[in-house]
Amino acid sequence: MSAAPVIELAGLTKAYNLGTPVETEVLHGIDLSLAEGEFAALIGPSGSGKSTLLNIIGLLERPTGGRLSIGGRDTASLSEAEITQLRGRSIGFVFQFHHLLPAFTALENVMMPSIIARGRPDDEAEATALALLDAVGLKAHALKKPAELSGGQQQRVAIARALALRPRLILADEPTGNLDTHTADDIFALLREFNRQSNCACLIVTHDPRLAARCDRIVRLVDGRIADDLPTAAETNP
């Protein structure tokens, strides 16, 4: 694979309660890189550090040691404001419980990353958001509040929102965790489709081996270490 790496982790560690008697290291020297267009699953038992790793890659938390580059930029030297900006512009999040803003309509939720990045809503952002909602099959529900949508629909809105600024990296934390199998398949297919279309890198935390098997690559995390990192057989899915 010769595509440029979107994320690169080298010897990354994360410890909590640093310098206190209860200091615990949850990630021990993670080396990982994800290239453009790659679609990888991150699996592992509960407490293995998956969510922490995802938060660190998503720049929501800072690593204790090691190196993290996003799009070739070392993040260690960046200020809080630069980190926030980088997160907003190049990373799209899909959370387990959709995490839409209940006070805003589906359309406004999808526009929100652009509103934040540009300071105010504009026609272009609205057009993009409408197109994205159309792509996830929810154009008719654009003006509904999240509470008026079903779980699957909410998650579709969340995916549309994650894609709003055409990020280079999509991070999904059990995006299908609380959905029925049928809806979960739909959501997964949607992610996969966008991954192909926009060539962004995707890292998806999942507990579902069935879904993991449909990714390009499975990274298994056990006790804060990468136990194995293997391409799947079904790499060339139809």
Partner 1 sequence: MKFRLPFAPLVALRFLREGRMQTLLILAGTTGGVAVIVFLTQLITQLQAQIVDRVLGSQAHVVIRPAEEVNRRAIDDAGFASIVEPRAQRLRSIDQWENIARLAADMPGVTAVSPVVTGPAFAVRGQASKSVALMGVDAERYRRIVRMEEYMVAGRFAVEGTRAVIGSELAKDLGIRMDDKLRVALPNGRDELLQVGGIFDIGNRDLNRRWVFVTLPLAQSLLDLPGGVSNLDLTVADIFEAQPVADRLRGATSLNVESWMQTNAQLLAALRNQSVSNNLIRSFVVIIVALGIASVLVVSVVQKQKEIGILRAMGASRSMILQIFLIQGAVVGAVGSVLGSMLAFTLLNVFSAIYRNADGQPLFAAELEPRFIAMAALVATCVGLLSALIPARRAARMDPVQAIRS
Binding mask 150-169 for partner 1 (x = CB under 8 A): -----------x--------
Other beta carbons within 10 Å of 52 = 19
- Tokens in use for 173? 């934390």
- Are the C-beta atoms of residues 39 and 5 closer than 8 Å to each other? no
Q: Does residue 61 interact with partner 1 by CB under 8 A?
A: yes
Interface residue with partner 1, options 65, 88, 151, 177 (CB under 8 A): 88
Q: Does residue 102 interact with partner 1 by CB under 8 A?
A: yes
The DSSP string of 67-81 is EEEETTEESTT--HH
Please state, in angstroms and rounded to a whole number, the distance separating the CA atoms of residues 33 and 136. 29
Q: Does residue 121 interact with partner 1 by CB under 8 A?
A: yes
> Which candidate, 56, 62, 69, 53, places its Cα nearest to that of 4?
69
Angle between helices 123-135 and 106-118 (to 10 degrees): 140
Q: Does residue 18 interact with partner 1 by CB under 8 A?
A: no
Interacting stretch for partner 1, rule CB under 8 A, among 64-72, 81-89, 130-138, 213-221?
Answer: 81-89
Please state, in angstroms and rounded to a whole number, the distance separating the CA atoms of residues 138 and 38. 26
Interface residue with partner 1, options 15, 78, 115, 222 (CB under 8 A): 115
Q: Does residue 58 interact with partner 1 by CB under 8 A?
A: yes
Least separation, in Å, of the C-beta of 165 and partner 1? 8
Q: Write out 98-140 in H/E/C secondary structure.
A: CCCCCCCCHHHHHHHHHHHHHCCCCHHHHHHHHHHHHHCCCHH
Q: Does residue 112 interact with partner 1 by CB under 8 A?
A: yes
> Which candidate, 1, 19, 49, places its Cα nearest to that of 221?
49
Q: Does residue 63 interact with partner 1 by CB under 8 A?
A: no
Which residues from 26-55 bind partner 1, rule CB under 8 A? 55
Interface residue with partner 1, options 37, 78, 95, 225 (CB under 8 A): 95
Place of tokens 């629909």: 153
Interface residue with partner 1, options 15, 116, 130, 222 (CB under 8 A): 116
Q: Does residue 101 interact with partner 1 by CB under 8 A?
A: yes
> Which candidate, 133, 150, 136, places its Cα nearest to that of 187?
136
Q: Does residue 113 interact with partner 1 by CB under 8 A?
A: yes
Least separation, in Å, of the C-beta of 127 and partner 1? 13
Interface residue with partner 1, options 34, 41, 44, 87 (CB under 8 A): 87
Which residues here bind partner 1, judged by CB under 8 A? 55, 58, 60-61, 80-81, 84-85, 87-89, 93, 95, 99-104, 112-113, 115-117, 119-123, 161
